Amino acid sequence: MFVFLDFEASSLAKKSYPIEVAWVFEDGAHESHLIRPPLQWDDWDDAAEAIHHIPRALLEAEGTPHDVVARRMVAVLTGHQLFASAPSWDGKWLSALLRAAKLPRHALRLRDSDEAQRETATAILRGHVPEAELGRAVADVAVLGELRDHDVPAHRALADARDEWRRWSLVKRAAEERAAANPSSA
């Protein structure tokens, strides 16, 4: 199953770490966790806090311990295809979380959300449009994934993961409608 994931972080610095994670399965099921940092995670950027509005004190008071979140992610997400809008950044924070929990840093891997949109559209449209036109048909419906409800991400993990899921859902629905209009290319 496809899963859309997002992290919020302490900063964008080299020593930044994840402070919130959320994921949304393709069926809409979701989870969200504030992450209590271990003592060695001490990077903090007030400018980042001004964007995500998650104070470090909240993480320390109400966050789930980092290792518990990491084990939950491995337990729930292993075997699924994970996607993020910024896989290099989100992958960095995923790796930091897994390593800090003494789990293999490649236990979970992220891909770009755009790949989920293209793969889904291709799978739905194949057989419904001529093979020579498949790439163009996929591009036509994938453009819907570029449309956003708002110009600025919410900078909260669940809202941003849901935004990725919604864009994927728009592309999927458009591909299904196009496929229904062209029952078979044979």
What would the two tokens of residue 61 be? 């008071």
CA distance 14 to 23: 24
Choose one of 74, 89, 111: the last residue of a domain: 111
CATH number at residue 65: 3.30.420.10
Does one domain contain both 104 and 117?
Answer: no
pLDDT score at 99: 96
Does one domain contain both 61 and 49?
Answer: yes
pTM value? 0.92
Average model confidence (pLDDT) across the chain: 93
Does one domain contain both 26 and 82?
Answer: yes
Choose one of 69, 89, 111: the last residue of a domain: 111
CA distance 53 to 135: 41
Does one domain contain both 105 and 140?
Answer: no
Does one domain contain both 91 and 7?
Answer: yes
Reported as a single tens digit per residue, the pLDDT across 137-153 is 999 998 877 765 445 56
Residue whose token pair is 């993020």: 84
Expressed as residue numbers, the domain containing 139 is: 113-181
pLDDT score at 148: 54
Does one domain contain both 136 and 169?
Answer: yes
- Report yes or no on 61 lying in a domain: yes
Does one domain contain both 32 and 62?
Answer: yes
Does one domain contain both 83 and 130?
Answer: no
SS3 call for 7: strand
Does one domain contain both 123 and 90?
Answer: no
Neighbouring C-beta atoms of residue 150, cutoff 10 Å? 8
Q: Which is nearest to 184 in space by CA: 121, 131, 139?
A: 131
Reported as a single tens digit per residue, the pLDDT across 154-178 is 789 999 999 999 999 999 999 999 9
Does one domain contain both 100 and 124?
Answer: no
- Report yes or no on 104 lying in a domain: yes
* Number of domains within the chain: 2
Q: For the chain, how far is it from start to end, CA to CA, in angstroms?
A: 29
Residues 6+ away with beta carbon under 8 Å from 59: 19, 34, 35, 36, 37
- Report yes or no on 186 lying in a domain: no
- Report yes or no on 57 lying in a domain: yes
pLDDT score at 51: 93
Contact 17, 43 (CB under 8 A): yes
Strands 30-36 vs 81-84: parallel, antiparallel or unpaired: unpaired
Does one domain contain both 153 and 170?
Answer: yes
Reported as a single tens digit per residue, the pLDDT across 12-56 is 999 999 999 999 999 999 999 999 999 999 999 999 999 999 999
Does one domain contain both 120 and 94?
Answer: no
